[in-house]
Structure 1
Amino acid sequence: MALPPGALYLAPRVPQLLAPPAAVYATSYVARTHFSVPTPTWVLAIAYVLCYPLALAAYIQWRDFTIARDAAAAGAVMPPVVEAKWIGGLDLMRRAGSDFDQHILGYRLAQLAERYGYTFDFRALFRPRYSTSEPEYIKRILATDFQSYEKGPEFRFQMKDLLGTGVFAADGKLWKFHRGMTRPFFSRDRISHFDVFDRHAEAALNLMKARIAEGFPIDWQDLVSRFTLDSATEFLFGQDVRSLSAGLPYPPHTPLAARDAGAAAHPANRFAHAFLDAQLNSARRSRFTNAWPLTEFWRSRVDPSVQVMEEFIQPLLREALARKAQSPETKAEEAVEEGETLLEHLVKLTDDPQIIRDETLNILLAGRDTTAITLTMAGYMLAEHPDMHHRLREEILAKVGTNRPTYDDIRDLKYLRAFINEVLRMYPPVPFNVRFSTRSTVWPALSPGGQPIYVPPNTRCLYSVFIMHRRKDLWGPDADKFDPDRFLDERVTKYLTPNPFIFLPFNAGPRICLGQQFAYNEVSFMLIRLLQQVTAVRLRQEVDPANVPPPGYAVSPVTDGTDKVLIKSHLTMFVQGGLWVTMHEENVEGTN
């Protein structure tokens, strides 16, 4: 019988908890041997209890002293520590949870950056946790000092139920092994083949037009999530989950919305919902550092969702391994054959079902969710900026017409690429990321006369591209405004060219996203197909009042306060409650 998560967390720590602190032994020994004073059991019990907080306080003081001493020896200083009112920074942890519901992404980090600077120590449960939005420090973490940072055991502990040992959780030799297996699959020759995109884009847009013809808005986020899920699962497994066949949801509070309850049992919907729940619950664990099992003491919140996903993955995995067993002449070569899926490619390289499962699920997470949120926010910006919609449509019709776009077409659509880049700047799919330092290191001073910052070993380093992408000192005074032309005019040479690390939607360095060009192609392809047919997009969030942001929600030091949707994040960004819109075609106009 498997132990519950909380028990697994406590088991290795029981000896430490049961062993009386040295101070208890010392006090009892001195009293008995030097003063002939008997030590009652109740005195030992009280001393036993009181010694733990005293020992913890002493340990924290000693640790902070040694870190400060090492920092001074390195000619550096510690970053400013965020002031906490409750012991262990519990108030900061509690506030982080409430911010998720009440404020836009990055609200608290941006607020703290105004007070402490863009690098500070946000302590939780007495442990240093650095937060930075400085491109120079992010560059060191991801590239120039790559060997000093890793995902770390704490991240793997948090994500093990979902990601296992896949490429996004692995470090060292195991990470190199996973990345080496996957890299050949994302060559230009493969990512320029658009058959998969075209088939699922056509199905998605037909569903959209049918629903609008009924007179209802559509949830654009739901639609593109189905499109990217079907595309990704076919691309990776050779068989898609057919989520588009499950149909689209009706707006809440309408008579037909009751039909959606029955659709929840559809296998594709079960997979999609389980995928979302697994990510939400995995991300939730980070709030409690490595003590998260205590919040899931009796059962894992992630396992049930993963089991639903396994119902789809495992049969495909067993089938692929069986085919390999029947073809012993299969060579373990890295070259990817024409038409080969990622699953088939991995099976050539290893017989370990766990490695194959973990890697395909990791790539599915990256290939589906990041592209889905980019398309979601692209639709949001089309609704908010009709002038940009018109300009994009003109460029597409002039260069592509109504034909299926090719790789060269996508490369030549300069304004479309700038539009996508601006979506990625304002709404990066992974707004926050984390690494752990493997050894002590020093971040350099950022200005003459400034002081370097010391990073102790095993320090959690959170970096936020969401904050960095909106900094006015990096992007100019209009950094909080959506403007694709910043990637086409003189602002490119003024801001981006001298410091390319201010724009990192796909990370950088050795762990840069392998599927970067794949994502650009998929997003571009879907937007081209959409804009070839749709003349206008109108935001309709009012169909569900619960999804309309409360007053002041979007107010933040790095936003202009105009966002009309609830933007949230698990491992990637998403819009809570969906993005409800109506779309208008040249000859058919959606009604209310």
Structure 2
Amino acid sequence: MKILGFLPPGIPYVFRTLFSVVLAPLSVLFAVDVLRTRFSVQIPIWVSALLCIVSIPLLFAARVVWKSQQEKQEAKRMGARFAPVMNGNWPGNVDVLLEFVRSSRNDYPGEVQLGWMAHLGTNVMDLRVLWEDILFTTEPEHIKAILATDFQNFIKGDKFKYSMRSVLGTGVFNADGDMWKFHRSMTRPFFSRDRISHFDIFDRHAEDAIARMKERFRSGYAINFQDLASRFTLDSATEFLFGNDVRSLASPLPYPYSAPAAERSNVGLSHAEQFARAFAESQEIIADRSRVGATWPLQEMFKDKTKDPMKVVNGYIEPILREALEKKPSTEERGANGEKMEVEEGETLLDNLVKFTSDPIVLKDEILNILIAGRDTTASTLTFAIYLLAMHPPVLAKLRSEIMELIGPSRRPTYDDIRDMKFLRAVINETLRLFPVVPFNIRESVNSTTLPSSNPTEKPIYVPARTSTSYSVFLMHRRTDLWGPDAAEFDPDRFIDERLKKYLTPHPFIFVPFNAGPRICLGQQFAYNEMSFMLIRLFQSFSSVTLSPSSHPPGTLPPPEWSSAKGRKGIEKFWPKSHLTMYSLGGLWVNMEEAKDA
């Protein structure tokens, strides 16, 4: 079916489906023809037609029953049990799928999954959509197995990679096996301590960002901090990784919804902003594909929805790529002896990548994947940190006290400064606990296996081969049995006081915001440094932060009915959403007061 690859996703899907569907009636017609020609058995046409029609559901049912029996026998041999099934009211649990999609778009993140698990009395369940097993878990031991101890048996898988390919290609986040190792090995040298502790890039862009903030605040308007953080991380990431600062901070900042319409309409979208919006749109589309499951191509019958936004994204990336290829032509590729080529002083990631390959598709895929890691993830955490500090002024006061005491009102922080700032690190960790950048993730089992039971008296959970297994660190990070009764509260001290030794130290897999195992984020320390540096610079310049609800576009704040809900949903002042990464719907509009001690 590769010859259909140029068509919209829906058409190849229909062809593949029809091909599998017609096998049954064709087999019936063949059998009827054999009976007629060889055995002279005359079968009426209406009987043949009826047999062709019923053969389709009968064959499908036979496959489901056969698979079910095989799995029961295998689970018994492995001494395992099936995960509790969330049974809907419609055939194939179609109503469960529709409720999941609806909730993902309209509710608080993970709300529907929490409801189902509470109904089943479990932290792992099987959604079994369209008679296919889809496991979902928030158990730390399961996540540990998926990411670390049974890593080789849980891969991205063809289904996931196909749904993401039009955006992520074969980049590191959408690759398995040798391709993943190839991307990983090329990227690793650029996250050594020597490289991630050079703060000149952070300092330049932090100064630009803060100058823009002061200018806007002095004019009497709030700023969209999510937009500003995205620009700061985009400029920093493109300079650090590609040696090409796109200067998105130089473009005019958006005005709040409360500003006069004339001022709002005078701010056009820069090239960098067009890229950011298109990239976010493309990520939302592929995230929606993963929510719908294997039938997602039916939503894109006549057009690949990512095609238009990816034109904008590619138009932004390709000039950077061409410049790098011209600077380092393919003649400088890896030598015939296969020896690793040393990373030169001042060389960027892209400079190094073109030594290994001149394939523009491979290079573009890796650039986009690294940009998600270097821009979206850090911007997301900075945004949520500012939101939580605005909601908790005493925490901000304590953080500013640490900054003033260890660094002062103006000195640039060093690597050692950041390492010694325990409360700053706790603030970032607590932000990542409540709002991990990648809240939901998925793998596919290669071979049949088991996941350990949280109850030692119960059998382990059986996982059939080629089963989609989804997990949520977002929901795991908020479990009161893992983090204590105050798990829903923002309290950075939990990463410093006795709760650290009580909960996290003996069970490290209850906190995995940067993934774990062989796929653990290579840029973890780079992200901590960048976020720490920016927060220090911000609160050397500003002494307070408050939310500005009136600045938000209509329909982007939590619905009024949320206020009566339990947990964080009832107190949230912004609407957390996610595509591949988490973000605030409509941005995060805030006001800040300039520090008098700056």
Question: How does the TM-score come out when normalised to structure 2?
Answer: 0.93
1:502 shift after superposition: 0.3
Tell me how far apart the structure 1 counterparts of residues 124 and 179 of structure 2 sit (CA, whole Å): 31
The match for 2:278 is: 274
Q: 2:441 aligns with which of 433, 437, 447?
A: 433
CA offsets 1:520-540 (integer angstroms, 9 cap, x no match): 011101100100011111111
Q: 1:344 aligns with which of 343, 348, 351?
A: 351
The match for 1:162 is: 167
The match for 1:179 is: 184
Letter in 2 for 1:166: G
Note the 1:450-489 alignment, pairs <5 A.
Answer: 450-489=458-497
The match for 1:363 is: 370
Residue 327 to residue 260, structure 1, CA distance change in 2 (3 Å): farther
SS at match of 1:168: helix
The match for 1:416 is: 424
Letter in 2 for 1:391: K
Residue 424 to residue 334, structure 1, CA distance change in 2 (3 Å): farther
Letter in 2 for 1:386: P
Q: Is the 8 A contact 1:333 1:348 kept in 2?
A: no
CA offsets 1:18-72 (integer angstroms, 9 cap, x no match): 33433565567668987944422x5434432332222222211221121111101
Residue 506 to residue 104, structure 1, CA distance change in 2 (3 Å): same
Q: 2:55 aligns with which of 36, 51, 54?
A: 51
Q: Is the 8 A contact 2:256 2:551 kept in 1?
A: yes
Q: Is the 8 A contact 1:133 1:465 kept in 2?
A: yes
CA offsets 1:299-332 (integer angstroms, 9 cap, x no match): 1111221121111221221222222239759977
Find out whether 1:381 has 2:385 as its counterpart. Answer: no
1:130 shift after superposition: 0.3
The match for 1:392 is: 399
SS at match of 2:444: strand
Tell me how far apart the structure 2 counterparts of residues 8 and 342 of structure 1 sit (CA, whole Å): 37
Residue 555 to residue 85, structure 1, CA distance change in 2 (3 Å): farther
1:227 shift after superposition: 0.9
CA offsets 1:351-384 (integer angstroms, 9 cap, x no match): 2222221111111111111101100000101110
Find out whether 1:448 has 2:452 as its counterpart. Answer: no
Residue 530 to residue 20, structure 1, CA distance change in 2 (3 Å): same
Tell me how far apart the structure 2 counterparts of residues 556 and 467 of structure 1 sit (CA, whole Å): 17
Tell me how far apart the structure 2 counterparts of residues 273 and 97 of structure 1 sit (CA, whole Å): 23
Superposition CA RMSD, Å: 2.3
SS at match of 1:434: strand
The match for 2:199 is: 194
The match for 1:16 is: 20
Q: Is the 8 A contact 2:104 2:110 kept in 1?
A: no
Letter in 2 for 1:130: L
Tell me how far apart the structure 1 counterparts of residues 144 and 334 of structure 2 sit (CA, whole Å): 42
The match for 1:247 is: 252
105-114 or 473-482, larger mean C-alpha shift: 105-114
445-454 or 12-21, larger mean C-alpha shift: 12-21
SS at match of 1:571: coil
Find out whether 1:288 has 2:260 as its counterpart. Answer: no
Find out whether 1:302 has 2:302 as its counterpart. Answer: no
CA offsets 1:64-88 (integer angstroms, 9 cap, x no match): 1211111011111110000111122
Find out whether 1:582 has 2:587 as its counterpart. Answer: no
Find out whether 1:74 has 2:78 as its counterpart. Answer: yes
Q: Is the 8 A contact 1:428 1:466 kept in 2?
A: yes
Tell me how far apart the structure 2 counterparts of residues 257 and 490 of structure 1 sit (CA, whole Å): 54
Tell me how far apart the structure 2 counterparts of residues 226 and 525 of structure 1 sit (CA, whole Å): 15
Q: Is the 8 A contact 1:249 1:260 kept in 2?
A: no
1:263 shift after superposition: 1.1
1:350 shift after superposition: 2.1
Tell me how far apart the structure 2 counterparts of residues 166 and 92 of structure 1 sit (CA, whole Å): 32
The match for 2:328 is: 324
Tell me how far apart the structure 1 counterparts of residues 423 and 499 of structure 2 sit (CA, whole Å): 15
Q: Is the 8 A contact 2:124 2:135 kept in 1?
A: yes
1:96 shift after superposition: 1.4
Tell me how far apart the structure 2 counterparts of residues 330 and 459 of structure 1 sit (CA, whole Å): 38
The match for 2:227 is: 222
Q: 1:525 aligns with which of 522, 525, 533?
A: 533
1:487 shift after superposition: 0.3
1:560 shift after superposition: 6.1
SS at match of 2:555: helix
Q: Is the 8 A contact 1:184 1:335 kept in 2?
A: no
1:517 shift after superposition: 0.3
Q: Is the 8 A contact 1:104 1:555 kept in 2?
A: no
The match for 2:542 is: 534
Find out whether 1:64 has 2:68 as its counterpart. Answer: yes
66-75 or 288-297, larger mean C-alpha shift: 288-297
Tell me how far apart the structure 1 counterparts of residues 54 and 266 of structure 2 sit (CA, whole Å): 54
Q: Is the 8 A contact 2:8 2:301 kept in 1?
A: yes
1:552 shift after superposition: 3.9
Q: Is the 8 A contact 1:383 1:536 kept in 2?
A: yes
Q: Is the 8 A contact 2:224 2:254 kept in 1?
A: yes
Tell me how far apart the structure 2 counterparts of residues 126 and 246 of structure 1 sit (CA, whole Å): 51
Find out whether 1:515 has 2:519 as its counterpart. Answer: no
Q: Is the 8 A contact 1:143 1:508 kept in 2?
A: yes
Letter in 1 for 2:286: S
SS at match of 2:44: coil
Identical columns (%): 50
Q: Is the 8 A contact 2:450 2:460 kept in 1?
A: yes
Q: Is the 8 A contact 1:440 1:455 kept in 2?
A: yes
1:479 shift after superposition: 0.7
SS at match of 1:19: helix
Residue 334 to residue 473, structure 1, CA distance change in 2 (3 Å): farther
Tell me how far apart the structure 1 counterparts of residues 580 and 529 of structure 2 sit (CA, whole Å): 22
The match for 2:572 is: 563
Residue 52 to residue 202, structure 1, CA distance change in 2 (3 Å): same
Extract unaligned runs of 5+ from structure 1: none
1:113 shift after superposition: 2.0
CA offsets 1:467-498 (integer angstroms, 9 cap, x no match): 11001111111111110000000111111010
The match for 2:152 is: 147
Tell me how far apart the structure 1 counterparts of residues 176 and 334 of structure 2 sit (CA, whole Å): 29
Residue 538 to residue 68, structure 1, CA distance change in 2 (3 Å): same
Q: Is the 8 A contact 1:541 1:547 kept in 2?
A: no
Note the 1:126-141 alignment, pairs <5 A.
Answer: 126-141=131-146
439-448 or 332-341, larger mean C-alpha shift: 332-341
Q: Is the 8 A contact 2:329 2:354 kept in 1?
A: no
351-360 or 213-222, larger mean C-alpha shift: 351-360
173-182 or 241-250, larger mean C-alpha shift: 241-250
CA offsets 1:176-222 (integer angstroms, 9 cap, x no match): 11101111111111001111111111111111111111111111111
The match for 2:501 is: 493
Tell me how far apart the structure 2 counterparts of residues 131 and 334 of structure 1 sit (CA, whole Å): 42
Residue 169 to residue 346, structure 1, CA distance change in 2 (3 Å): same
1:145 shift after superposition: 0.8
1:291 shift after superposition: 2.3
Tell me how far apart the structure 2 counterparts of residues 327 and 437 of structure 1 sit (CA, whole Å): 40
Tell me how far apart the structure 1 counterparts of residues 591 and 352 of structure 2 sit (CA, whole Å): 41
Tell me how far apart the structure 1 counterparts of residues 503 and 513 of structure 2 sit (CA, whole Å): 16
